[in-house]
Amino acid sequence: MSEEKTVQASESMNDYKNELEASFRKLSEGDIITGTVIAVTEEDVTLDLKYYASGIIKAEEISVDPDFNLLESVHVGDVMEATIIRMDDGEGNLLLSRKEANDVLAWDKLNQYLEEETRVKVRIKGIVPSGVIAYLEGIRGFIPASHLSLDYVEDCTPWLGKDVDVKVITVDRKKKKLVMSAKVIEREKAQEEQNHRISMLTPGAIVEGTVESLMPYGAFVNIGNGLSGLVHISQISTKRIKHPKEALETGQKIKAKILNTNDNKISLSMRVLEEEMIDTEAKETSKSVEAYSSHESVSTNLGSLLADIKLDN
C-alpha cells in the first residue's frame, strides 16, 4: 500500500472512530455542553458539538442583554457553552440555550472576578433612580451612583452608553444580585499616581507646606501636588511638648525636612531644621570668637613689642 493510501486510510479510521465515539455519547436535556460556532444568522447560531447532531441556539436564547447584536457579537470559530433544552428541534438538531447555561456558569465566573479582584470593562445600558445598569457575563448588574466615580454623581444620565472599567464587589447567586464599582478602580489609579509622586521625593530635601490638621501624635502638613506628610510630635520642636497645638496651628506655613518615604508615607521633621540652624549659629559664633581672639592676641603682641622700643629724643 502506498504512503498516500496509508494516510487516507488512517484519516478514514480516525473519522470513523470520532463518529463511533459520538454515537455512544450520552446526552440528556439539561446537560451543559461545549461546541464551536460553524454558522451565524440573524435568527440563530449553529454549533458543532462533536456529536451526530448539530446544536442550534435561537437568537432569543443567546443573551438577556436587550442590546445584544447576534451578528456583531458571535463569529464562526467561537466556542460556546449551552444547555440542552430539547434533544430534537424537529429537524434532527439539538435545541440549546446559552442563557440557561450562562445562568449557571456565569455566576461561577463572577465569583472568580470577585475573589481575584479582576478589572473588567462594561457598558452602561440603563439608568435607574439610584445608579446604572450594566451587563457582565450576560448577567444584569448594578453600579450604584456612589460607585460611578470618586466625585459625587448627582445625575447618571451622561453615563448612559459609556464604557467603564469596574470591579465586582457583590455576587449573590441566590438573590440574582450583581454589584460592580468603577470608583474602586479610580481610587486604585489615584493611589498609584500618588505613590509615583511620593517616589520622586528625595529624603533630606527641604519642603514648604501648610498645617492641615493637628493630632495628639503629630501634625499633617500639605506640601503640595496632592501630597501630605506627617510631622511626628517628637519632630516638631527641640523643646519637649505634650501636644502639637503648643507649637503649631492649623493653616500655619512651615518648613520641614523629608526624613523618609517608607511605605509611601511621607515623614517630615521641623526639629532637624531647628537643630541645624542652632548648630550653624553656634559655628558662626565660634568663628567670630576665634577671629576676635586672634585679633586681640596680635594687637597685644604688637603693643608689647612697641613698648620695648626706646626712641632717642
Tell me the per-residue pLDDT of 244-299, one tens digit each, with 9 for 90 and over: 999 999 999 999 999 999 999 999 999 999 888 877 766 666 666 565 555 555 45
**Which cell numbers in the block locate residue 49?**
458539538
> Going by C-beta distance under 8 Å and a sequence separation of 6 or more, which residues neighbour residue 88?
53, 94, 95
Q: Which residue has the cell 479582576?
A: 118
More confident position, 311 or 189:
189
As a whole number of angstroms, the distance between CA 261 and CA 167 comes to 30
Q: Taking the model in full, what pTM does it have?
A: 0.61
As a whole number of angstroms, the distance between CA 123 and CA 141 comes to 11
**Which cell numbers in the block locate residue 282?**
553656634
Amino acid identity of residue 88, one-letter, is D
As a whole number of angstroms, the distance between CA 113 and CA 244 comes to 46
Q: What is the mean pLDDT of residues 222-231?
A: 94
List 131's β-bridge partners, or say none: 128, 144
Residue 177 has pLDDT above 80, yes or no: yes
Q: Where are the beta strands (DSSP E) in the chain?
A: 32-40, 44-48, 55-58, 79-86, 94-97, 119-128, 131-136, 139-144, 163-172, 177-181, 206-215, 218-224, 227-232, 253-260, 266-269
**Which cell numbers in the block locate residue 137?**
457575563
